[in-house]
Structure formats: structure tokens, C-alpha cells
Amino acid sequence: MEESEDSDEYYSKINNSEIPDDIKEKLLAENAKLAKMPFGTPEATVIRNYIETCLELPWGKKSKDSMNIVKAKKVLDKDHDGIEKVKERILEFIAVKQLRPDLKGQILCFVGPPGVGKTSIAKSIATATGKEFARISLGGIRDEAEIRGHRRTYIGAMPGRIINALKLAGTSNPVILFDELDKLTKDAHGDPTSAMLEVLDVEQNNAFRDNFIEIPVDLSECLFIATANTTETIPAPLLDRLEVINMDSYSDKEKLAIAKNHLIPKQLKLHGLKSSQCKITDAAVKELITSYTRENGVRNLEREIASVCRKSARRIVEGAAKINVTVPMLCEMLGPKKFLPDSIYDSDEVGIVNGLAWTYLGGDMLRIECSSMKGTGKLELTGHLGDVMKESALAAMSYIRKNCEALGVEEDFFTKRDIHIHVPEGAIPKDGPSAGITIATAMLSELTGRTVRRDVCMTGEITLTGRVLPIGGLKEKSMAAYKCGAKRVIIPSENAADITKFDSEVKEAIEFIPVKHISEVFDIALNK
């Protein structure tokens, strides 16, 4: 009796819905099958679940997109400081959508280190465009059925995450965020990245088939956004379907603006404080950024601000009328500095060169030291170096041997002297193609006795013939050079265009010198 009542209810719901006619026929056929089933059979539960899921999908329901570029710019500027390149791309999308409303196939992928606002910018895009927002976390998913759904051949079958996201959004044109796309894994149950190929392909996703629904669902109206920390673990066919937008780490100036405009007001509100009760000075925020956090994003900065707010709240409860957090008070609240800024040495020295490195925490000054002693020509490398840096040292050694006469080095130095190259902080693994010119300069300085200018930093890779090759992460490296007090930074000539992206304070304080050959580096960095 109960099955008959359910089937009657479903019959009226199906007929009164805005589902396309061909899909109505399929659902009515399933409903007829349900009516004939004996009460309480397991298959009836699966059919009931199937019909309800299909009825809940937003067939033809669309949110009215707000493609007002002025309003969108205000929303993005209000929610986020910095990340101009990302905002510009979103405003371009809105402008094109305004001119061509039926435009499809916008699949963006924000790639950057943790804490730079990849997920929050996706929410802002939904707000700016007036679309509904649905987030799908892909971290650790290893079963293809999570994406494509389970087949209705067993009890407990469910639709996949894509169909669930559409149900939650309630419209057929939401912003769907695939969070942590690079964290997808695979096992014996299939490869979820292969299932994503259809979802993120504009030529195919207008008829996406979920294993549970078994009806073509149009995803072409959805705005898909993916986030990832790196593209290295994303398979090439999937990466080919994405428009990758790199989100660099924030500069200290951007972090200060984010802290003042977003983090501090948010944390004051969370801790029940008014801006009149607790004020954190700009100097204290700068101290938080440089001495208590070292990161690409602002997550740890927010934690430290929260810690200051908690301690301020306690003092106010204990009787203080108003708290004005200055640098001395900050040190009193949070204890000794966690990070001491690296700085250039007081005098020019032989065999010590200021290199620059990119780390997951941002840019860092990487000093390289070289020493030589009587021996038989051995080359010793210490400091937990990877294969790339070891090869850079060998290339630098070969270049100096080949050009020893022009460089003023003894012709047979490699048979009479042992050379030891050391990169301090030995416990930290170091690798990457950006230390070649630094190693070569340190080696030549040691062999000729010429001192290295202490106010010069450098980054670039070297070839056997002395050419200087381009490198990555120059924005972060330039910030490291600025913080340590360097006046000049030697960079590969092919990276000269990157300078336009740097902060004005960095460009004003540092002279960037593009070079094509290692001989130019020696002329700039070594004293006569």
C-alpha cells in the first residue's frame, strides 16, 4: 500500500515539475516499476532515492547573473587586497559575459602556496557575479565513484559530488569550486582525475553522465574554479583543460593592508572587542609580519593577531579601559621573536656570496661559502644539497678550469687544491636551478683572493659556456634581498620583465642588474 501511495505522490511531482520531457518519461517508467514492487524490497529504496534525487536537481533553474563590472570590482576590492592579476582576469570574464551572455567554457585554476586566498577569491567571484556557490573538497579522494557516482546495482548507491553540488546550489549555473585539485589520489577503485576530465571539458560537460543518475546533465552553464598548491601532481591531460592563474605570495606591504583592512577587524569582532577598546599600531603589525611569522600567505599572521586579541580581552576584563598594542607590548604579549631577520655582513669577504632562494615560506637569502686548501683537486659539497645544486657546482668548476687564464686563476689549481663549497643551515634540504652564478662567484673569489661586494645579492643558473639561465620566484627573492639590506641584485636578463610586478618600495631601494653571461656577474660582484 505504501509503495502505491509513494508512486502516486511521485507521479504528480514528476508531471508538475519543469523537467525536460524525455527525462520525465524515464522517471515515470521508474515510478511505474516502483508501484509494482512488493512493500519493503531493497530495490524499492534505491528507486525511491533515485526519483527524489532527480526531482531535486535544478532542471532549468538559473540564478540571474549580475554582470555589473563596477559592482564586481567593488566587491573584489573590498574582499581582497593585492592579487591584482587575479582580479583583472575575473573582471575580464565579467566584461566578456556582459557582451556575450551565452559564453561557456570558463575553467580557471588558481595555483599558489597555502594561505594566499585561493578559496576565498572563489567565494568573492560568486558574490560579484550573483551566482550560487558550491565547494567540493577533493583532498584525499581516491575513488572514481566520488566524482561520477555509484551504479544503482547495489543498496546504498549515491550520486557523485558534482550532482550533490548542483542540488546544494539549487541552480544550474552556480560557481563550483574544486578545492585542492592537486591532492587527488588513485587506487584500485579507479582514478578520480580521469573522471574529472569530462567534468572540466567544455566540449563534453553539456551532457555529463553520473553513474547513479544515468541521465545527461548539462554542466556547461556552471563556472568551474579549481585551486591547487602546485601543478606538478595534476596530470597533463587535466591541466590542459584549465586556465592556470598563479597567485604569488604576498609582499609585506600587501600583508599590512590585509591585516589592517580584514584580519584585525575580523578578529576583534570574534573576540568581542571594539576598535575603540583595542588598537594594534602599524609598527606592531609590521613586527608581527617580520619577526613572528614567515609565510607566503596570511594564515599564521591571523593566528598571531588572534593571540594578541585574546590577551587584550583578558586585560580589559581585568580592568584595563583601553589597550594600545605597540612593539614593546607585542613582545611582552607574544614573547621573544620567532624569526630574526637575516642581514648582510659588515665587510666584504673572500669566498662568501649572498645568493637568493625561493622556499615554501617565501624568499630567503642563501649565503654560499667557498674555501680552498692544499690537496689533490677534490671538490667537497656540504649543506644538504640536491642533485641540481651539485651539478651547478660542477658546471661552475668546469667553466673556471676552461677559462682560468682569462680569470686570473692558476692553470693547474685543480690538481694542487681541494675546494670545499658549503651552504649553511645544513639540516635544511636545498635544491633548485638558481644557485649556479652564486657558486661560480664564490669559487672564483676564493681562487683569486678577490673580495665579494657584501651589498650584492644574485640568482641565476650557469651553463658550461657561462650563459646565465632564467629562474623562478623572483618576486619572493627580491623581497628577501630588500629585507637583508642589499643594494644591488644580479638577475638573468630573461627575468628582467618580472621587475614590473615588484612592489614600488623594493624597486626604489634595489638596483636590479640583468646579465647574460657569468663574466658580467664577476665584474659586478668582485672587487678588483
Catalytic residues: 434, 477
Apex 343 CA angle, 341 and 349, nearest 5: 155
The grid coordinates of residue 272 equal: 568581542
Residue for cell digits 673580495?
A: 451
Sheet holding 133-137, edge to edge: 133-137, 175-179, 223-228, 107-111, 243-246
Angle value at C-alpha 82, between 80 and 84, nearest 5 degrees: 100
The whole-angstrom separation of Cα 152 and Cα 166 is 20
**Most distant CA pair in the chain: distance in Å?**
101
**Contact between residue 463 and residue 486 where contact means Cβ atoms under 8 Å apart:** no
Taking only Cα atoms into account, the Rg of the chain, rounded to an integer number of angstroms, comes to 30
Task: Quote the DSSP letter at residue 428.
Answer: S
**165 closest CA partner among 184, 143, 149:** 149
Residues sharing a CB contact under 8 Å with residue 25, sequence separation 6 or more, in sequence order: none
First and final CA of the chain: distance in angstroms?
100
Query: Looking at beta carbons, which pairs linking 78-85 to residues 24 or more positions away fall under 8 Å?
Result: 79/120, 79/121, 79/123, 79/124, 79/127, 80/117, 80/120, 80/121, 80/124, 81/254, 81/257, 81/258, 81/261, 81/262, 82/250, 82/251, 82/254, 82/257, 82/258, 83/116, 83/117, 83/121, 83/247, 85/245
Instruction: Please choose, from the candidates 443, 462, 446, the residue with its C-alpha nearest in 3D space to the C-alpha of residue 395.
Output: 462
Give CA–CA dist 195/149, Å, rounded: 10
SS (H, E, C) 198-261: HHCCCCCHHHEECCCCCCEECCCCCEEEEEECCCCCCCHHHHCCCEEEECCCCCHHHHHHHHHH
